Amino acid sequence: MITIKEIARQLNMSTTTVSNVIHGKAGEVSDDTKKKVQDFLDKVDYVPNINARNLAQNESKIIGLALKARADKYENLIMDPFVSVLIGGVEETIRNAGYFMMLYISSDTGEIMRHVSTWNVDGLILFGMLNDDGIRVSEKYKKPIVCIDTYSLEGLKHFTNIGLDDEQGTYDMASYLISQGHKKIAFLSDNMNGVDLARLNGYKKALKDAGIKYKETNFLKIRPRAEDIDESLEEICKRAPEFTAIMCVSDLYAVTLMSALEDRGIKVPDDISIVGFDDNMLGQLHRPALTTVHQDVKAKGVTAADTLLKQLKGQKTPNQIKLPTRIIVRDTVKNIKTDNKESYKDIFSKKRNDSYSCK
Amino acid sequence: MITIKEIARQLNMSTTTVSNVIHGKAGEVSDDTKKKVQDFLDKVDYVPNINARNLAQNESKIIGLALKARADKYENLIMDPFVSVLIGGVEETIRNAGYFMMLYISSDTGEIMRHVSTWNVDGLILFGMLNDDGIRVSEKYKKPIVCIDTYSLEGLKHFTNIGLDDEQGTYDMASYLISQGHKKIAFLSDNMNGVDLARLNGYKKALKDAGIKYKETNFLKIRPRAEDIDESLEEICKRAPEFTAIMCVSDLYAVTLMSALEDRGIKVPDDISIVGFDDNMLGQLHRPALTTVHQDVKAKGVTAADTLLKQLKGQKTPNQIKLPTRIIVRDTVKNIKTDNKESYKDIFSKKRNDSYSCK
DNA sequence: GGCGGTTACTTTTGCGCATAAGTTGTACGC
DNA sequence: GCGTACAACTTATGCGCAAAAGTAACCGCC
């Protein structure tokens, strides 16, 4: 790899002159030499050594994207189709801004932070991995941090968060179910923290506003670990007849559940209505096609990256951005209203099998 | 960030001594000072400046992972759930070896190579993006390159390739279909290059070995672009009755097709048998569950990374690795053999709904 | 005609690290 | 008691770049 020094030697001039041409410092070098240098640069296909540049400038032009890897390999976040879309959004945005992306998958916040400071990363996007320990460690490294989908209250105080209006999403969906005559609505999720909790709350609120009482028994817990998913599903399917509809915290759960119900001869939506959250391929391709809450995952990645880039430029950014959701009505909800005077379909346009991308 | 120089100053010793302790150069520093330095390092939580280190050592400890971004945004490779699993495999492997991963999504090989040389990347993994132009450009940068799933003949000459025994996979699957009495078997794919061609060839070979003639009309072309997927499916569904089985080049196509067939009242597997290739969530969760060819995507990533790491250590590696496939029999193939004396099930064990990971 | 200002450069310094080369001090063999 | 070998250091150098500081020539102007 040719260096500035070598170029300067061959052109019989100083390195600073060459450097000035490279950086387009107009007025500091005559048009004549500028052209001479530029031609030479093109000829030898000069590429700067980024390590030297970063060392001299004390910056890295790297943005780190840290993804939580759960301890259980079956649940590794990276395995979720969702994630690659998000990565794509981040990468595209920062590349267009002249930054590079270093991807890091780990559940050890300390390790992440060490990595970040080793590489002198300019900024950090955290996805799914902000706990209180993480916050404590990250305070030491004064780099801008943007979180995606964090619900850590402590974290919200310190960092920008890019999230979703989860509560509104489930509120709308539960309201839709209620409008279709459903009263016995279960909520299926695997925990009561973070995103899951926010979604649960939206659902609860809709019930409350409709005058329906929420009972603890409405909460169906799914255990997604590979070893016990079967017994988990068995139990949920057994309890399904208690309800006329089940709201699932994600499309993945919804589709998983539908498959399990189908295996046991329970028909969706005739026997029970099922709805999801996310609007991914899984639900789009399933038959009956899944009625769900749509979120724009790529926009999440793009917004997170944009926000971080703004912070790097010293611009102020809101410390909480909630992207909107909208419900997508497909074929997994049955209208069980006896009084059919006013159809909800008039309000929520029924959109069948939205086009999606393939391969 | 504290530097070696500063540490040396505070401990009243030379930077070389500190550096030696950091690098565990035994015998060059007394146990006494070693302990003193080590304690101090721990106390101040020293992290080396990687740019300085790389500059001094002329290496980067970075491995680049370049993914092809197709021009059409709907087909961006990163959008495929497949990809995140692969990324995960690569990341895990190189991290364990002390390397970092820089992710790059682009379709401009020149751009990738410039990036690679800018960052002084130690090695490169290319996924889905090796064309002849790419080869020409990459020759200039003498870095080890490992390709995943390339079928560029020119590329195979120059670089290591990690692929799949695609041909064997479709050969086995076609043989299975034939054993179930199918003779009119279509092959569905969107082109006749690379992976698709290899899979087509395995299918053709199986037909030939069974004495069935392959006709050009057996090839169903699916056009996956978002704009014309619907008409593409329409046409394929119209032609479906010509066949008793359709082999799809991927699970995504298989499930997409099944949904389209279902929408038109065509029952799988009663009216027509469908099989896929990949064995991903989509097919596992679909009902009927998809009979398909299994490939271990994570292993692909891991193997590619392992191979590259070996090359970096100067070890010899085979210049072509083909990972095995196996067929997974689920519920989308109907046995239409009139003579039922010997069931294929005795040969290919029927495995129903293999456990899969959730969320 | 000396002086500020400008243009078009060059020289020099330092970023933080690794390491080659140099400097002690001391134990040991003969 | 002198040379040698070695342990335990320190000093000095350079990686490639950016940028501060320096220089030299020229121009116009009161």
In DSSP notation, A120-163 reads T-SEEEEES---HHHHHHHHHS---EEEES---HHHHHHSEEEE
Distance CA B145, CA B307 (A): 10
Distance CA A179, CA A347 (A): 10
Where is pLDDT greater, at A338 or A353? A338
Residue B319 and residue B158 in contact, taking contact as beta carbons nearer than 8 Å: no
Using one digit for the tens of pLDDT, what is the confidence trace for A158-175? 889 999 999 999 999 999
Minimum mean pLDDT range among A320-329, B37-46, B121-130: B121-130
Using one digit for the tens of pLDDT, what is the confidence trace for A257-267? 999 999 999 99
**DSSP 3-state assignment of A16?**
helix
Domain B166-295+329-355 in the same topology as domain B62-158+299-323: yes
pLDDT at B352 over 60: no
Task: Give the per-residue pLDDT at A118.
Answer: 77
Task: Give the per-residue pLDDT at B239.
Answer: 96
CB contact under 8 A, A358 and B226: yes
Give kind and range of the element (H or E) at residue A274: strand A273-278
Q: Which residues contact B11 (CB under 8 A, 6 or more apart)?
A: B18, B36, B37, B40
Domain coordinates in residue numbering, chain B? 4-48, 62-158+299-323, 166-295+329-355
What is chain A's mean pLDDT, rounded?
86
Residue A103 and residue A126 in contact, taking contact as beta carbons nearer than 8 Å: no
Distance CA B352, CA B359 (A): 21
- Does domain A62-158+299-323 bear CATH number 3.40.50.2300? yes
Using one digit for the tens of pLDDT, what is the confidence trace for B249-258? 999 899 999 9
pLDDT band at A75 (very low <50, low <70, confident <90, very high): very low
CB contact under 8 A, A358 and B80: no
Nearest to A355 among B114, B190, B229 (CB): B229
> Contacts of residue A355 in chain B, CB cutoff 8 Å?
226, 229-230
Task: Give the per-residue pLDDT at B68.
Answer: 79
pLDDT at A277 over 60: yes
Q: Which residues contact B78 (CB under 8 A, 6 or more apart)?
A: A84, A85, A87, A88, A91, B67, B69, B105
Q: On the CB side of B221, how many CA atoms lie within 13 Å of its CA?
A: 8
**pLDDT, mean of residues A294-315:** 93
Give percent of chain A with pLDDT exceeding 90. Answer: 57
**pLDDT, mean of residues A198-215:** 96
Task: Give the per-residue pLDDT at A74.
Answer: 41
Closest CA to A218 of A245, A198, A255, A257: A245
Query: What residues pair up with B101 in beta bridges, in sequence order?
Result: A103, B63
Distance CA A331, CA A286 (A): 10
Report the gap between the CA of B1 and the closest CA in chain A (Å). Answer: 8
pLDDT at A124 over 80: yes
pLDDT at A316 over 50: yes
CB contact under 8 A, B286 and A281: no
CB contact under 8 A, B78 and A55: no
Using the CB atom, is residue A153 less than 7 Å from strand D?
A: no
Residue whose Cα is closest to the C1' of D18: A56
Distance CA A25, CA A247 (A): 60
Where is pLDDT greater, at A115 or B297? B297
Distance CA B63, CA B68 (A): 16
pLDDT band at B84 (very low <50, low <70, confident <90, very high): confident
CB contact under 8 A, A358 and B140: no
Nearest to B252 among A49, A286, A358 (CB): A358
Where is pLDDT greater, at A353 or B168? B168
Q: B214: burial class by Cβ within 10 Å (0-12, 13-18, 19+)?
A: middle
User: CA-CA distances (angstroms) from residue B358 to A148, A336, A351, B79, B272?
Assistant: 21, 31, 27, 19, 29
Nearest to A102 among B101, B224, B286 (CB): B101
**pLDDT, mean of residues A287-303:** 95
Task: Give the per-residue pLDDT at B322.
Answer: 96
Task: Give the per-residue pLDDT at A280.
Answer: 87
Task: Give the per-residue pLDDT at A27.
Answer: 65
**Amino acid identity of A92?**
E
Task: Give the per-residue pLDDT at A70.
Answer: 57
pLDDT band at A345 (very low <50, low <70, confident <90, very high): very low
Most confident of B65-74, B193-202, B326-335: B326-335
pLDDT at B12 over 60: yes
Query: DSSP code of A214?
Result: P
> Contacts of residue B289 in chain A, CB cutoff 8 Å?
259
Task: Give the per-residue pLDDT at A355.
Answer: 36
Residues with CB under 7 A from strand C: A 12-17, 20, 27-30, 32-33, 52, 55-56, 58; B 1, 3-5, 15-16, 19-20, 22-23, 48-49, 52-53, 55-57
Distance CA B225, CA B208 (A): 32
Using one digit for the tens of pLDDT, what is the confidence trace for B304-349? 999 999 998 889 999 899 999 999 999 999 999 875 544 444 444 4
Q: B153: burial class by Cβ within 10 Å (0-12, 13-18, 19+)?
A: exposed
pLDDT at A331 over 50: yes
C-alpha torsion sign, points B106, A117, A108, B21? positive
Identify the CATH class of B166-295+329-355.
Answer: alpha beta
List the structure tokens of B273.
Answer: 């048998």
Q: A342: burial class by Cβ within 10 Å (0-12, 13-18, 19+)?
A: exposed
Task: Give the per-residue pLDDT at B158.
Answer: 84
**Amino acid identity of A56?**
A
**DSSP 3-state assignment of A11?**
helix
pLDDT at A319 over 90: no
pLDDT at A303 over 90: yes
**pLDDT, mean of residues A127-153:** 79
C-alpha torsion sign, points B221, B227, B230, B235? negative
Distance CA A192, CA A201 (A): 10
**pLDDT, mean of residues B201-221:** 96
Task: Give the per-residue pLDDT at B65.
Answer: 92
Q: On the CB side of A78, how many CA atoms lie within 13 Å of its CA?
A: 26
Nearest to A282 among B80, B285, B353 (CB): B285
Distance D19 C1' – A129 CA (angstroms): 40
Q: Characterize the bridge pairing of strands B292-294 and B326-328.
A: antiparallel
Task: Give the per-residue pLDDT at A339.
Answer: 58
Task: Give the per-residue pLDDT at B156.
Answer: 81
- Which bases of chain D are under 7 A from a protein CB atom? 7-12, 14-21
Q: Which nucleotide is nearest to A20 (CA to C1')?
A: D18
Using the CB atom, is residue A22 less than 7 Å from strand D?
A: yes
Task: Give the per-residue pLDDT at B75.
Answer: 45
What is chain B's mean pLDDT, rounded?
86
Using one digit for the tens of pLDDT, what is the confidence trace for A26-51? 667 889 999 999 999 999 989 899 89
